[in-house]
Amino acid sequence: MNASDAWKGLVRVPAPPDFEDRVLRDLHFRLKPDPQVRKARTFKWALSGSAAVLLLAFTVLNLFVFKNGPAGPAAGLASGDPIHIIEPLNYGHEVRSASDSRTVYILEQVSDASSSKMRF
Protein backbone atom coordinates (compact mmCIF):
# COMPACT_ATOMS: atom_id res chain seq x y z
CA MET A 1 0.00 0.00 0.00
CA ASN A 2 1.29 3.37 -1.02
CA ALA A 3 1.37 6.40 1.36
CA SER A 4 -0.77 8.45 -1.01
CA ASP A 5 -3.39 5.67 -1.07
CA ALA A 6 -3.66 5.85 2.74
CA TRP A 7 -4.64 9.52 2.58
CA LYS A 8 -7.29 8.99 -0.10
CA GLY A 9 -9.78 7.29 2.22
CA LEU A 10 -9.70 10.02 4.92
CA VAL A 11 -12.31 12.76 5.10
CA ARG A 12 -10.99 16.31 4.97
CA VAL A 13 -12.01 18.55 7.85
CA PRO A 14 -11.87 22.36 7.50
CA ALA A 15 -9.68 24.28 9.97
CA PRO A 16 -11.32 26.49 12.62
CA PRO A 17 -11.67 30.16 11.61
CA ASP A 18 -8.97 31.48 14.04
CA PHE A 19 -6.54 28.59 13.46
CA GLU A 20 -4.02 30.67 11.49
CA ASP A 21 -3.99 33.47 14.07
CA ARG A 22 -3.42 31.02 16.95
CA VAL A 23 -0.59 29.27 15.10
CA LEU A 24 1.15 32.56 14.31
CA ARG A 25 0.68 33.82 17.91
CA ASP A 26 2.12 30.58 19.36
CA LEU A 27 4.97 30.71 16.88
CA HIS A 28 5.72 34.29 17.93
CA PHE A 29 5.86 33.28 21.62
CA ARG A 30 8.09 30.29 20.85
CA LEU A 31 10.51 32.40 18.82
CA LYS A 32 10.59 35.21 21.41
CA PRO A 33 13.82 34.84 23.41
CA ASP A 34 13.53 33.93 27.07
CA PRO A 35 15.07 36.60 29.36
CA GLN A 36 16.86 33.93 31.42
CA VAL A 37 18.36 32.35 28.32
CA ARG A 38 19.40 35.78 27.06
CA LYS A 39 21.13 36.62 30.36
CA ALA A 40 22.92 33.26 30.38
CA ARG A 41 24.05 33.74 26.78
CA THR A 42 25.33 37.26 27.56
CA PHE A 43 27.21 35.98 30.60
CA LYS A 44 28.75 33.16 28.57
CA TRP A 45 30.01 35.57 25.90
CA ALA A 46 31.31 38.03 28.52
CA LEU A 47 33.18 35.28 30.36
CA SER A 48 34.74 33.84 27.24
CA GLY A 49 35.64 37.32 25.97
CA SER A 50 37.38 38.26 29.21
CA ALA A 51 39.32 34.99 29.19
CA ALA A 52 40.41 35.69 25.60
CA VAL A 53 41.53 39.23 26.51
CA LEU A 54 43.58 37.92 29.46
CA LEU A 55 45.22 35.30 27.28
CA LEU A 56 46.01 37.89 24.63
CA ALA A 57 47.45 40.30 27.22
CA PHE A 58 49.60 37.52 28.70
CA THR A 59 50.89 36.58 25.25
CA VAL A 60 51.66 40.18 24.28
CA LEU A 61 53.49 40.82 27.55
CA ASN A 62 55.57 37.66 27.17
CA LEU A 63 56.48 38.33 23.55
CA PHE A 64 57.15 42.07 23.58
CA VAL A 65 57.75 43.23 27.17
CA PHE A 66 59.65 40.31 28.69
CA LYS A 67 61.66 39.39 25.62
CA ASN A 68 65.05 39.68 27.42
CA GLY A 69 64.16 36.83 29.74
CA PRO A 70 63.42 36.69 33.42
CA ALA A 71 65.32 38.79 35.94
CA GLY A 72 66.31 37.93 39.47
CA PRO A 73 66.85 34.43 40.84
CA ALA A 74 65.29 32.77 37.82
CA ALA A 75 67.82 34.41 35.46
CA GLY A 76 70.47 31.81 36.38
CA LEU A 77 68.16 29.00 35.42
CA ALA A 78 67.33 30.56 32.06
CA SER A 79 70.96 31.13 31.05
CA GLY A 80 72.03 27.55 31.77
CA ASP A 81 74.73 28.54 34.27
CA PRO A 82 74.68 26.67 37.57
CA ILE A 83 73.57 28.51 40.68
CA HIS A 84 75.94 28.02 43.60
CA ILE A 85 74.16 27.83 46.91
CA ILE A 86 76.24 28.39 50.01
CA GLU A 87 74.49 27.86 53.31
CA PRO A 88 76.00 29.77 56.20
CA LEU A 89 76.71 27.59 59.23
CA ASN A 90 77.00 28.85 62.78
CA TYR A 91 79.62 26.85 64.65
CA GLY A 92 79.42 29.10 67.71
CA HIS A 93 77.76 26.47 69.87
CA GLU A 94 80.29 23.81 68.90
CA VAL A 95 83.22 26.10 69.61
CA ARG A 96 81.89 26.94 73.07
CA SER A 97 81.34 23.28 73.89
CA ALA A 98 84.81 22.42 72.54
CA SER A 99 86.42 24.88 74.92
CA ASP A 100 84.91 23.02 77.85
CA SER A 101 86.43 19.70 76.81
CA ARG A 102 89.58 18.68 75.01
CA THR A 103 87.81 17.83 71.69
CA VAL A 104 89.39 19.13 68.48
CA TYR A 105 87.34 19.37 65.29
CA ILE A 106 89.21 19.02 61.99
CA LEU A 107 87.32 19.91 58.82
CA GLU A 108 88.63 18.19 55.74
CA GLN A 109 87.28 16.78 52.53
CA VAL A 110 86.51 13.10 52.97
CA SER A 111 85.97 12.06 49.36
CA ASP A 112 88.19 12.89 46.39
CA ALA A 113 85.35 12.13 43.97
CA SER A 114 83.33 15.27 44.82
CA SER A 115 82.34 17.24 41.73
CA SER A 116 82.02 20.57 43.54
CA LYS A 117 84.54 22.69 45.33
CA MET A 118 84.27 22.67 49.10
CA ARG A 119 85.11 25.69 51.17
CA PHE A 120 86.35 25.44 54.76
Cβ proximity of 70 and 78 under 8 Å = yes
3-class DSSP state of 15: coil
Q: Where are the domains of the chain?
A: 15-79
Residues 101 and 43: their CA atoms lie apart, in Å, by 77
pTM above 0.75, yes or no: no
Residues 95 and 1: their CA atoms lie apart, in Å, by 112
Mean pLDDT of 89-100: 61
69: confidence class by pLDDT, cuts 50, 70, 90: low
Who has greater pLDDT, 92 or 11?
11
98: confidence class by pLDDT, cuts 50, 70, 90: very low
Q: Which whole-number Å values give the CA distances from 94 to 23, 69, 86, 90, 103, in the listed order?
A: 97, 44, 20, 9, 10
Residues 120 and 5: their CA atoms lie apart, in Å, by 108
Per-residue pLDDT tens digits for 34-51: 888 889 999 999 999 999
- Nearest Cα neighbor of 84 from 115, 44, 51, 46 is 115
